[in-house]
Amino acid sequence: MNLLVKEVVTAVEGVNYAQHLDDQMISSVEFDTRKVQENSLFVPLKGARDGHDFIPQAIENGASLVLSEKDLSDDIAYIKVEDTLIALQKLSRFYLEKVGSKVIGITGSNGKTTTKDMTAAVLSQAFKTYKTQGNYNNHIGLPYTILSMPEDTEMLVLEMGMDHKGEIEVLSNLATPDIAAITLIGESHIEYLGSRQGIAEAKMEITSGLKDEGVLIIPNDEPLLKRLIVDISQEVESFGIDTQATLSAEIMSETKNDTQFKTNLFKEEVFSIPVLGSYNVKNALIALLIGHHFGISASKMKNGLETFDLTKNRTEWLKTNDGIDILSDVYNANPTAMKLVLDTFSALELEGRKFVVLGDMLELGELSSQMHESISEHISPNHIDQVYLYGEQMNALYNLLNDRMPKGNLHFYHKTEKKELMEHLSRQLQPKDTVFLKASNGMGLSEVVDFLLKNHE
């Protein structure tokens, strides 16, 4: 990015204590002093620590301009604002309008990141495209993503996350998307939103900033959303598998590394995605609808899907040196997502035994025990050989499965017993076995993945 200091002053509506730098260029905006470099604007934010405490370090690292809510010494070039976070958001809005890129906003209870990655891969076949990096999808990460995009960006793909009502509305009004997509409505954060209905309403906030001529994309099989779209004026398109949707897919084949499907709109093409699961086909349909909206040919979109880069820890296949396959999906979890992957994993034809390691799904509130128990219908001893359950909430599932699984094939570990879990699992696994791991990020199952990779070299 490149912005003049005087443009920054105008954008954030602050008091300029850096007039001598008005015509100097700012080339990056950072709130982490470790990323500050020459010609950076440093934005101190309030978190566990007050970012204002790190202003001297930012200047030492090369920052030429600072935003501040406080009066600073005369030797510091700064712009005084009432709220540095709001100023960051205002600046991102200014830069977005200056660049003029088309904006795609993506939200949903599951699949946001994969859909973002697929959409960016499809759009990049014809346009200069930039996407949310990692999980920078909140009120800080989204404006930071905007300010990090190159000036020649034509398509900006933004992931929008939330915990509470009202958060997506802020992000949507900031980004004003041309196209908004909702992947699915699950149970993530139901503790704060009360019900799936509350979650659907929170996800529909993505239409708050959707341009009048914009398009909303929703799953065809979600009645909660269908009831809500009657209140919006923008065009609505839908997606689904074996259903009457704007874009519908028929799955042709599925292996652990590849899923192939056909669609009703592009009848001549067989699309392939380098990930497993019908749920990922639905994510791909969103990407195809978006690419089609912008006039990208089916053949180019096919190439984009075949070669897309998946963000780390999202249904990632790994392999130990002694031949154990690991399906790692440890970044996040909710009941809908866990059931989808379990069903897909159960149906896979694999050479060795199948192990699953499931950790607590967090933020489910009063419904937590019931929702953990509901996973039982998706675990069958006919398809899964060994089950490891980890965390206090998983005790509800353990009690249900105790009479269904053969003796010695079901294991439960408290949250304090991660070491015991790792060691027992590691001893049981043999070459050609496959283990699937899924839990909320707070359960730290990534440590189990790392342990297996290290101890089976």
Residue numbers in the known binding site for ATP are 108-114
For residue 79, report the phi and psi dihedrals to the nearest 5 degrees. -120, 125
Give the phi and the psi of residue 333 in degrees, each rounded to 5.
-160, 140
CA–CA distances in Å: residue 113 to residues 138, 150, 369, 440: 13, 21, 27, 15
How far is residue 309's CA from residue 160's CA, in Å, rounded to a whole number? 19
- In this structure, which long-range contacts are made by residues 225-230, counting pairs with CB atoms below 8 Å and at least 24 apart in sequence? 225/182, 225/185, 225/200, 228/200, 228/201, 228/204, 229/204
- How is residue 404 written in tokens? 């269904």
Nearest Cα neighbor of 148 from 32, 27, 57 is 27
Say which amino acid occupies 53: D
Among 112, 434, 111, 114, smallest CA distance to 274 is for 114
What single letter denotes the amino acid at residue 2? N
DSSP string for 172-232: HHHH--SEEEE-----TTHHHH-SHHHHHHHHGGGGSS--TT-EEEEETT-HHHHHHGGG-
DSSP for 105-138? Answer: EEE-SS-HHHHHHHHHHHHTTTS-EEE--TT--S
Encoding tokens for residue 341? 């992957």
The token duo for 300 is 């180019």
**Pairing mode, if any, of strands 40-42 and 65-68?**
parallel
Helical residues (DSSP H) of 39-105, grouped into ranges: 55-60, 84-99
Q: Which residues are annotated as a binding site?
A: 108-114
Crossing angle for the helix pair 167-175 and 84-99, nearest 10 degrees?
40
255-268 as b/e: b if 16+ CB within 10 A = ebeebebebeebee
Estimate to the nearest angstrom the gap between the alpha carbon of 107 and the chain centroid. Answer: 8
Spatial separation of the C-alpha atoms in residues 201 and 205, rounded to whole Å? 7
One-letter amino acid for residue 384 of the chain: I
